[in-house]
């Protein structure tokens, strides 16, 4: 695999042109062999791990997703997760290059609520990448195990996800849209903190128009898919806010509310009949109901940003903590 080097001065103009969004200049530079070492269009992530450093024969299978299996392995004495990409996917050169571009981007991200990317295994015929290992598994597993969460835990988890997502959406020079935010793509660390993962489907926002960032295409899991994505309309960052609302709803509910229903039909009803999960039950505190309704609003422009969501959740959390403390104190007095 060719390493273009991080600071190759001869190829830096393309990075600069990309970061400033000069599309025409990018085309000219690309036509003359320009490459982008900053990583928005890198052919190779910078951190490659020699495959001899990871003993894949002692691997333990921990999960399987649409792209391949995930294994627990040891790298330099540390437990890490090795994500293998099916050869049917990785053998397609364009897909592989796109994937490596996503990894190059992920490699630069650092946030307590984002799963840490560690490197790509230099393997002759397989595409395998390494991330930190989160032993408590996914939010999907947690909800399956525990069922409905208590209000304070649900709010704390919602804050974790919102903080990770806010970091992605605030990414410069372009926002990162996750596009596939689901309970399976939210993992829990030893300390109980949630982290967002799986940026394989996320893309750097390419265009900005008068209404904000927009891009076209359709990816992601149907159950959490925003109506505009299902309708294959142009969409922006707020698709992640929609998915977030459905995840928060599940935390109060203890899992998806329409488990039996075909996810594609569900997405169809959301897209064409404005159907939304019910929040009538008493388990939802009033400010959470209001927040969910804002977040899954049919008009994407009416959905709040993650920055706003964090502010709202922090207020909700503080009130809940005060209430819990007050009721605890009255117990003691009694």
Ligand X SMILES: Nc1ncnc2c1ncn2[C@@H]1O[C@H](COP(=O)(O)OP(=O)(O)OP(=O)(O)O)[C@@H](O)[C@H]1O
Judged by CB, which is closer to ligand X: 259, or 282? 259
d(CA 200, CA 190): 24
CA 167 vs. chain centroid, Å, equals 11
Q: In this structure, what token pair is assigned to residue 140? A: 């999907």
- In whole angstroms, how close is the CB of 13 to ligand X at the nearest point? 36
Is residue 137 a contact point for ligand X (CB under 6 A)?
Answer: yes
- In whole angstroms, how close is the CB of 15 to ligand X at the nearest point? 29
Is residue 102 a contact point for ligand X (CB under 6 A)?
Answer: no
Is residue 133 a contact point for ligand X (CB under 6 A)?
Answer: yes
Catalytic annotation present for 198? no
Judged by CB, which is closer to ligand X: 9, or 88? 88
Is residue 295 a contact point for ligand X (CB under 6 A)?
Answer: no
d(CA 108, CA 110): 7
**Using CB under 6 A, which of the segments 35-43, 60-68, 103-111, 226-234 binds ligand X?**
60-68
Among 76, 182, 178, residue whose Cα is nearest residue 130? 76
CB 130 within 8 A of CB 116: no
Q: Identify any residues that bridge with 130 across adjacent strands, giving them in sequence order.
A: 82, 119
195 annotated as belonging to a binding site for a ligand: no
Count of residues interacting with ligand X (CB under 6 A): 22
Q: How far is CA 95 from CA 21, 87, 180, 328, in A?
A: 23, 11, 17, 56
User: Residues 6 or more apart from 308 whose CB is under 8 A from it?
Assistant: none
Among 148, 152, 173, 158, residue whose Cα is nearest residue 113? 158
Is residue 263 a contact point for ligand X (CB under 6 A)?
Answer: no
Q: In this structure, what token pair is assigned to residue 128? A: 């395998």
Q: Which of 115, 161, 248, 288 binds ligand X (CB under 6 A)?
A: 115
Q: Which of 11, 63, 74, 289 binds ligand X (CB under 6 A)?
A: 63
- In whole angstroms, how close is the CB of 115 to ligand X at the nearest point? 6
CB 197 within 8 A of CB 186: yes
Is residue 131 a contact point for ligand X (CB under 6 A)?
Answer: yes
Q: Which of 40, 62, 89, 215 binds ligand X (CB under 6 A)?
A: 62
Preceding omega of 173 cis (within 30 degrees of 0): yes
- In the stretch 139-178, what mask flags binding to ligand X with x, by CB under 6 A? --x-------------------------------------
Marked catalytic residue, from 180, 189, 240, 268:
180
Q: Which of residues 183-202 bind ligand X (CB under 6 A)?
A: 184-185, 187, 197-198
**Using CB under 6 A, which of the segments 22-30, 57-65, 168-176, 302-310 binds ligand X?**
57-65
Q: Is 75 helix (H, G, I), strand (E, B) or coil?
A: strand
Q: How open is the CA angle 203-206-208, to the nearest 5 degrees?
A: 130
Is residue 224 a contact point for ligand X (CB under 6 A)?
Answer: no
Judged by CB, which is closer to ligand X: 102, or 180? 180
CB 10 within 8 A of CB 17: no
Q: How far is CA 334 from CA 44, 118, 328, 330, 331, in A?
A: 65, 54, 10, 6, 5
Q: In this structure, what token pair is assigned to residue 241? A: 């806010």
Is residue 81 a contact point for ligand X (CB under 6 A)?
Answer: yes
Residue ranges of the annotated binding site are 83
Residue ranges of the annotated binding site for ATP are 83
Active-site annotation, residues: 180
Chain residues in the site for ligand X (CB under 6 A): 62-67, 70, 81, 83, 115, 131, 133-134, 137-138, 141, 180, 184-185, 187, 197-198
């Amino acid at each position: 695999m060719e390493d273009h080097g991080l600071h190759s001065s001869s190829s830096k103009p393309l990075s600069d042109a990309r970061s400033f969004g000069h599309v025409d200049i990018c085309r000219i530079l690309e036509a003359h062999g320009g490459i982008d070492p900053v990583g928005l269009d890198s052919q190779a992530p910078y951190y490659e791990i020699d495959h001899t450093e990871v003993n894949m024969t002692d691997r333990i299978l921990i999960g399987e997703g649409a792209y391949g299996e995930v294994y627990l392995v040891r790298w330099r004495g540390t437990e890490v997760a090795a994500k293998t990409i099916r050869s049917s996917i990785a053998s397609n050169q364009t897909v592989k290059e796109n994937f490596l571009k996503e990894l190059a981007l992920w490699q630069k991200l650092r946030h307590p609520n984002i799963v840490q990317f560690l490197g790509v295994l230099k393997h002759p015929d397989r595409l395998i990448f390494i991330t930190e290992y989160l032993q408590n598994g996914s939010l999907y597993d947690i909800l399956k195990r525990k069922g409905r969460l208590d209000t304070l835990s649900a709010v704390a988890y919602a804050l974790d996800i919102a903080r990770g997502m806010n970091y992605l959406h605030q990414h410069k020079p372009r926002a990162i849209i996750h596009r596939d935010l689901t309970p399976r793509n939210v993992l829990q660390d030893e300390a109980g903190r949630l982290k967002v993962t799986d940026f394989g489907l996320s893309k750097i926002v390419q265009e900005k128009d008068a209404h904000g960032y927009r891009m076209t295409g359709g990816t992601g899991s149907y159950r959490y898919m925003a109506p505009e994505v299902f309708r294959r309309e142009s969409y922006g960052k707020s698709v992640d806010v929609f998915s977030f609302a459905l995840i928060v709803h599940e935390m109060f509910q203890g899992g998806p509310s329409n488990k039996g229903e075909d996810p594609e039909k569900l997405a169809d009803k959301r897209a064409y009949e404005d159907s939304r999960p019910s929040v009538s039950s008493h388990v939802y505190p009033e400010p959470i109901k209001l927040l969910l309704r804002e977040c899954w609003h049919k008009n994407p422009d009416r959905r709040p940003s993650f920055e706003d969501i964090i502010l709202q959740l922090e207020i909700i959390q503080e009130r809940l903590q005060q209430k819990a403390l007050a009721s605890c104190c009255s117990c003691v007095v009694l």
